[in-house]
Structure 1
Amino acid sequence: MSLEHRPNRIILVRHGESEGNVDDTVYERVPDHRIGLTTKGFEQARQTGAAIREVLDGESVEVYVSPYLRTRQTLETLGLPVAERDVRVEPRLREQDWANFQDPADIAEQRQLRDRYGHFFYRFAEGESGSDVYDRVSTFLESMHRNFETPAAPRNVVVVTHGLTMRLFCMRWFHWSVDYFESLDNPENAQPVVLLRQKDFRYKLEAPFTQWNPDVVPTERERSSWL
């Protein structure tokens, strides 16, 4: 692949605040993929969209979006200058599967087990582990890189997805350790995470993820992944 065809920036965006973010009982009666944004979530997406459009400054853009309702609503509300043909609905960018309708008491217990076991390796009963999501994100990256191979490749890529998926995307891209991944917070709702292309055609994060566990000291490789 010709390196000059790589986009100037890759912008990851978490969906805006969803109904599940404010009321976890919704998972008992609404499938996860059908949970939409709150009024606040739409407003968050509008503000983020205005900021992204200013950064793009008229440059070409291609979009990948998780098929979940809340991510598609976020994308629509961002108001990006993109044609329908340049938007790819990508199932590999979906949320970590916790399996079907959820019992909040059971999920709360499993979350406690996950905290003890480790977020990357713990697999929800009948659902996915973080490592499963990592594997499908890895195959998505292979597909995305193939789309960079032509001179007509867009100058910017926007990926609208979920918080855990964004962290795993960066873990895979920058070859972070499991310990460092597990020490990081998810981005806030509608928060963009920007990977900027450098003069050597490699990418760096515009800003690092925040760490909830400061006891994990980033390695030199991990520190070199941000500006």
Structure 2
Amino acid sequence: MTPKGQEQAVGAGKEILSIIGDGYIQAYISPYYRTRQTYNGIQSVLQDRVSGCHEDPRIREQDWGHLRHPDDSRLLVQERNQYSLFYYRMKDGESGADVYDRVSVFFETLYRDFKKENYPENTLLVTHGMTLRIFLMRWLHWTVEEYESLENPHNCQVLVMEMSDDGKYKLITPLKKRQ
């Protein structure tokens, strides 16, 4: 991780601490090395406010398959943008719909953990831009069009969801619209 990335992770930790105050948090992180490094920066600020941390491969980054040449990713992105961000499956890789299915299965763990007697009042996901956007799509029941209209969050951008009085969650931190 670059020094800027480390600074961003610590900054995210400070922002999260200001949000949870004296509360505690349960963390779920992607097993990818860079994500674990990000979590370490966040955790260095949160310290004992983290009740537990679980790595979960279901919230890993989208699999891009086997790219043979640096230009391959540019061409894939161009083709995907013309077809559909959500449905386009890269050769030997995943579509957004595939990631959606993985994230949906991850919900089983969340729902089971939420029922635990000692589960803290806050949950932290340290994952990847597209995976997080698909998590939000699934959780908030967005359509494919709503998902595709939004950009991924920036590196270490903290997004906050809160439960309303009616028991439904609301995204407090807006995502930027795609141009």
TM tier, smaller: over 0.9
Q: For 2:125, which of 151, 159, 182 is the aligned residue?
A: 159
Structure 1: runs of 5 or more not aligned? 1-36, 214-227
Please state how far the C-alpha of 1:105 moved relative to its aligned partner: 1.2
Structure 2: runs of 5 or more not aligned? none
Whichever residue aligns with residue 154 of structure 1, its letter is: P
Q: TM-score, normalised by structure 1?
A: 0.74
Matches within 5 A, 1:55-70: 55-70=19-34
Q: For 1:191, which of 151, 157, 172 is the aligned residue?
A: 157
**Higher mean C-alpha deviation, range 102-111 or range 174-183:** 102-111
Note if contact 2:28-2:55 (Cα within 8 Å) is conserved in structure 1.
yes
Please state how far the C-alpha of 1:201 moved relative to its aligned partner: 2.2
Q: For 1:48, which of 9, 12, 37 is the aligned residue?
A: 12
Please state how far the C-alpha of 1:84 moved relative to its aligned partner: 8.0
What does residue 21 of structure 1 align with?
A: none
Aligned residues: 177
Q: For 1:150, which of 116, 119, 128 is the aligned residue?
A: 116
Counterpart-to-counterpart distance in 2, 1:62 and 1:100: 34
Relative to total residues, which structure has the larger helix share, 1 or 2?
Answer: 2
Counterpart-to-counterpart distance in 1, 2:107 and 2:156: 22
Please state how far the C-alpha of 1:179 moved relative to its aligned partner: 0.9
Counterpart-to-counterpart distance in 1, 2:110 and 2:175: 23
Matches within 5 A, 1:169-208: 169-208=135-174
What does residue 107 of structure 2 align with?
A: 141
Give the RMSD, CA atoms, in angstroms: 1.6
Counterpart-to-counterpart distance in 1, 2:52 and 2:67: 33
Q: Go from structure 1 to structure 2 and tell me whether the alpha carbon gap of 1:65 and 1:82 turns closer, same or farther (over 3 Å shift).
A: farther
Counterpart-to-counterpart distance in 1, 2:31 and 2:62: 13
Note if contact 1:121-1:131 (Cα within 8 Å) is conserved in structure 2.
yes
Whichever residue aligns with residue 95 of structure 2, its letter is: S
Note if contact 2:62-2:94 (Cα within 8 Å) is conserved in structure 1.
yes
Counterpart-to-counterpart distance in 2, 1:188 and 1:67: 19
Please state how far the C-alpha of 1:99 moved relative to its aligned partner: 2.0
In percent, how many aligned pairs have the same letter?
Answer: 43
Q: TM-score, normalised by structure 2?
A: 0.93
Q: Go from structure 1 to structure 2 and tell me whether the alpha carbon gap of 1:67 and 1:191 turns closer, same or farther (over 3 Å shift).
A: same
What does residue 37 of structure 2 align with?
A: 73
